[in-house]
Amino acid sequence: DAKTTQPPSMDCAEGRAANLPCNHSTISGNEYVYWYRQIHSQGPQYIIHGLKNNETNEMASLIITEDRKSSTLILPHATLRDTAVYYCIVRVITNAGKSTFGDGTTLTVKP
Amino acid sequence: GAVVSQHPSRVICKSGTSVKIECRSLDFQATTMFWYRQFPKQSLMLMATSNEGSKATYEQGVEKDKFLINHASLTLSTLTVTSAHPEDSSFYICSARNAAAGQGAGDVLTFGAGSRLTVL
């Protein structure tokens, strides 16, 4: 799996968009970008994933740069319940799901 | 959506005893499940990959005789912490991959809520 780099922490005002960056400069052509989050004392929750095109679902949007060396997870209207640790994971889809977690970004949404 | 149930959510045991944690996929079959351990203020550390009907694959540094994994059916994997000691106190989390969904669904993982083990 390609190594990822994320800022250790970020703050965001409630109701504003939260933009969480992830650097994966060594990503290979067949590796996908996955985002999970972990709310305190719970198991991680899948958010979104993508290969090279931008993706959007009911939870978030994923913007992947054209060279695929970095990506941004966007929570369009952050709420207090979005306070969590967000993990960016890069891996091949044929790895049977095996995922290695880095340190992630602690997002704190403030009122 | 896919749901993974983990039991117990909390367990306290005496040093030297063994503790079993169950991980069940409730509405899908999981040929592969993963077990993670998480210490306070740290990230998840992959311990082992549990494969239905075969032996688990352990990550480097994880003692297979200490952490026994059994994946006897397509919906159940168990982790047994044998002869637990205070240093084994941690948050144990399982995850499962939907065998039917496969690559077409993005090969995402569904995680259990975790089991907090405290060894006295």
Q: What is the pLDDT of residues A29-88, one digit of tens each?
A: 889 999 999 999 899 999 999 999 899 999 999 999 999 999 999 999 999 999 999 999
Closest Cβ opposite residue A49 in set B43, B106, B110: B106
Query: Which residues are CB-neighbours of A57 under 8 A, at least 6 positions away?
Result: A47, A48
Unique residue bearing structure tokens 């077409």: B104
Residues of chain A with Cβ-Cβ distance to B113 below 8 Å are 42-43
Phi first, then psi: what are they for A47, rounded to 5°? -110, -60
Across the interface, whether the CB atoms of B110 and A46 are under 8 A apart is answered: yes
Across the interface, whether the CB atoms of B97 and A97 are under 8 A apart is answered: yes
Q: Which residue of B has its CA nearest to A103?
A: B43
Give B39-74 pLDDT, tens digit per residue.
999 999 999 999 888 899 999 999 999 999 999 899
Contact status of B99 with chain A (Cβ, < 8 Å): no
Phi first, then psi: what are they for A90, rounded to 5°? -120, 125
